[in-house]
Structure 1
Amino acid sequence: MMSQDNSILCALDIKDNNIKNVSVSDATIENRGVMKHIKLVRADLSYILHRCPNCGMNTLVKNGKRVTNARLASFNGKEYHMILNKQRYLCRNCDCTCGAHSDFLIKNHTMTNQVRDRIFDMARESFTLSSIAKIIGISPSTVSRVLYDNITLPSRCNRLPENMCFDEFHSVGKIFTFIAIDAQTHQLVELIHDRLSKTIIEHFINKYSLSERQSVKTVSIDLNANYQLVVHRIFPNAQIIVDRFHIVQLCSRALDQVRINSLKRISDKHSRLYRALKSNWRLYHLPLAKVDDKNIEYVFGINEYTTIQNVIDIGLDGFPVFKEVYDTYQNIQQSLENQNIKLLSETIHGYKKNGTAMDTSISTLRKNLKYVENSCIMPYSNGPLEGTIGKIKKLKHNSYGFRNLDHFLKRITLICA
């Protein structure tokens, strides 16, 4: 009998040797007018207890049992309810009563620690409250109460990391929330309810001492000029790194805009030049190392057997200005990939205006040249932070948005933990 009890308890992941006489049966219950088929687990909870927890005297005697209904976590999709007969004790000295207790139970709750842990596990995977409630078999309000009442937003992190990433994301309504993470461990550092420079500066100055803020060495940001002022104000010794992705993206958009303007100047929409620029636009974004100039293959769009390099040359030879922009884009991309700060500086300083969108992009890089060069020689970027924001967007998408900012921030701290 004991081996059978142990097998059932092991299957239910209950690690309490004081639970005995375990049996499992099928049952049907009615929940809000809906008939549900569940698994009913019956067991006894009893152990030897001599001293009274109230007076401390060795005068306890058994005094019947109390039946409690506890909810267990499911492992096959069905609800598991446990009818537990808990031993009661009476003190002959002070007439106080007490009962047997198990660590897997929550005092004064029908929910067990198993169910609570399952709620947090599913919440970390960006499940919605209604989905968690449906899978576990409890009400959404219970899930909400378990999650939001047991999570507190930290006022500050224990220690500021030496390398950080800054960005913001669209949270609730029209609010943009500021987020900062550790560039090395990818752990969440700060969540601030808005992205205003004043709010961010006041938060860091009030929460962290000057010596703590001086320990920060680098901060990775996008090309947001406001963040540059914020970093200089709160982290006196930190170097700013402009994210490499945003640099390439800035030049890539300029390249596309010049290509589209070139297409508009072609009157024959069926010409070889038009099809090379229109259908095969992705080829112009390939790094030079990936451009094949030897192997001949069938290229859709122009519908010819040729090399990738030849298709690119068709578009570049037709528009010399587009070729200048293309060369500039490739030099910047190549310098960032190979950490060639000399090529990067020569490309930005040696660029001559040609009346295209690339003029604005290069002008922006010149204004931030020191920070752009840091991105070329330092290994940190906003890549980990973009991944974290991706998780946040997934949570927001699954939940069809949030109305309560506090609840949203608590869910973020949970999935980023």
Structure 2
Amino acid sequence: MDYNTQKLLGIQDLDITFKEDWLIYRKDRRNRMAQIIEGSLEKRPSHCPSCGVAWESTKDVYAHGTTPKKRVIQLTEINNQPTYLELTIRRSKCRHCSVVSANHLPNYFVKRRKSISVKLHLKILMELKNPTNCKKVASICKTGYQIVYQTSLQIAHYINDLDSRPLPRVLAIDEFKATRDCEGAMAFIAMNWESGQIHTILEDRRSHKLLEFFNGYSYEERCKVEFVVMDMNAAYDSMVKKAFPKAQIVIDRFHIVQHLTNAFKMIRIQEMNKLNRHSGEEAKKYRRLKRFWRLSQKDYSCLSSESKYYPLFDRYISAQDIALELANYSPVLKETWEFYQLLLGYFKDRNADYFFDLIRESRSSEFLPQNFRNKLAFLLKKEESIRLALSVPYNNGLVEGTNNKIKLLKRSAFGYRKHEHLFARIYWMQADTVYSV
């Protein structure tokens, strides 16, 4: 085998000699047709690993046969087939201490007592960054499931040994459903908004557990947190005020719009259920409200003005006209929809003064339903955090995206038994670099 071929295979500079017919094909222990590269490692070590005497001539050392078994190392696949390096290793016996030893391959090629090369190990780690299960990774890398599973366990041990990270300036927090062995019903996740990296994952989201964790940091460290991005969870609100003395709470803008949307949806369903759904003109109105509910909840300015034929209306009509017609089916629905569209417009323009002035005016309105006004009045309790959300660029999109990846990971793996393994995979998927563990 020439040097360029060795370089292509990634086995150059290993002091391995190859015979003329160095490539053979046979089935491996998993009954797959594999490519076997045969070679021998004959170069003896420079000194005795036992007594440390330098081996300079045959007066110090002599050949002592080969190892009882050939060493088989799996390489990365070639031509979509598993590839192995099968080595016959020469042994040497020290004349000074009578210890028999064999030469070893360098650690940059294969780690001690490992059956896969470092390159294949890194490829497995790269595949584990995707939200997929270990069996799928083993199929992609043409290796065994146990090898991939043991690599994932090494990730868990590595993550547990990491030092705690300093608190970031902008902290984004949320919760997600983890595993059954967690103490709480939901797990807690906190991320560094500026770097996009996970700061911590805890198996319990209850306030006293979160305070116990964050109080482990010094007071000076906790004062470095300037903004905490979160949803409208009241428990998180009180916890943040106790744990981070100088932090300002930023309510995620998506959750504010969701709160407005749910308030209007409640009124739409109430008015829709008052209609006779079985016969007559009211039945048509009911079907239209049920079929095109998304159009009535969207921002009117974002709807299309292009007319299309809709069988339920039996005419050509645009999305904007559909939203207007649905609102006119009830006086209460029309008043609520117009008020809801005004709120969405002010929020989209980030006009906090008009937004909250309109909510305050709604408290004395005689036309808006009481439950709708109560929903809007709740936003006044979060006015400071909502005003801040409209003036700063921070949001919880990063955490929500990570939560979606966690759901994909759990679904692909058909669930996890231990939260340590799940948390380690989450940390690893969000890591910015890949390195050997």
Which secondary structure state, in structure 1, belongs to the residue aligned with residue 190 of structure 2?
strand
Question: Structure 1 residues 212-221 or 351-360, which shifts more?
Answer: 351-360
Q: Which residue number in structure 1 is paired with residue 434 of structure 2?
A: none
Is residue 410 of structure 1 aligned with residue 419 of structure 2? no
Tell me which amino acid in the other structure corresponds to 1:178. Answer: F
- Between the aligned partners of 1:135 and 1:329, the Cα distance in structure 2 is 51
Cα-Cα RMSD: 2.5
Cα contact 1:162–1:217 (8 A) shared by 2: yes
In structure 1, which of residues 237, 248, 256 is the aligned counterpart of residue 246 of structure 2? Answer: 237
1:355 aligns with one of 369, 391, 399? 369
Relative distance call for 1:338 and 1:44 in structure 2 (3 A) is: farther
Aligned twin of 2:119: 114
Q: 1:49: Cα distance to partner? A: 4.5
Q: How far does residue 217 in structure 1 lie from its aligned partner after superposition?
A: 0.7
Which residue of 1 is the match for residue 192 of structure 2? 182
Shift in Å, 1:334: 2.5
CA distance in 2, matches of 1:328, 1:287: 12
SS in 2 for 1:152: helix
Paired residues of 1:25 and 1:40 also in contact (CA < 8 A)? yes
Q: More displaced, 112-121 or 232-241?
A: 112-121
Structure 1 match to 2:35: 39
Equivalent residue letter for 2:259: L
Q: For residue 435 of structure 2, what is the aligned residue in structure 1?
A: none
CA distance in 2, matches of 1:168, 1:137: 36
Which residue of 1 is the match for residue 296 of structure 2?
284
> Which ranges in structure 2 are unaligned for 5 or more consecutive residues?
432-437
- Bigger relative contact order, structure 1 or 2 (CA pairs below 8 A, ≥6 apart): 2
> What are the residue-to-residue correspondences of 1:16-415 with 2, within 5 Å?
16-21=13-18, 23-31=22-30, 35-47=31-43, 49-53=45-49, 54-59=51-56, 61=61, 63=63, 64-66=65-67, 67-96=70-99, 97-102=101-106, 103-150=108-155, 151-153=158-160, 157-173=164-180, 175-206=185-216, 208-267=217-276, 268=279, 270=281, 273-293=285-305, 295-352=306-363, 354-355=368-369, 357-415=371-429
**1:265 Cα shift?**
2.1
- Indicate conservation of the 8 Å contact 1:62/1:87, yes or no: no
Deviations 1:336-370 (A, max 9, x none): 32221122222222223633542332122111111
Change (3 A) 1:259 1:75: farther
Measure the CA separation in 2 of the matches of 1:204 and 1:27: 57
Query: For structure 1, which segment, 38-47 or 191-200, has the greater mean C-alpha deviation from structure 2 after superposition?
Result: 38-47
Deviates more, 1:258-267 or 1:273-282: 273-282
Distance in 2, Cα, partners of 1:336 & 1:142: 53
Question: TM-score, normalised to structure 1's length?
Answer: 0.89
- Map 1:1-12 onto structure 2 (within 5 A): 1-3=1-3, 6-7=4-5, 9-12=6-9
Q: Which digits, 9 at most, give the CA deviation of each residue in 1:12-48, with x for residues without a partner? A: 34454533427222102454xxx33211111233557
Shift of 1:145: 2.3
- Please state whether the residue corresponding to 2:271 is helix, strand or coil: helix
Q: Work out whether residues 156 and 190 of structure 1, in 8 Å CA contact, stay in contact via their aligned partners in 2.
A: no
> What TM-score results when the alignment is normalised by the length of structure 2?
0.85
* 1:16–1:335 distance in 2 versus 1, CA, 3 Å: farther
Range with bigger deviation, 271-280 or 192-201: 271-280
Instruction: Give the CA deviation at 1:155.
Output: 6.2
What's the % identity of the aligned pairs?
A: 25
1:186-211, Cα deviation, whole Å (9 max, x unpaired): 100011111110011110111x1111
Q: Number of aligned residue pairs: give it.
A: 409
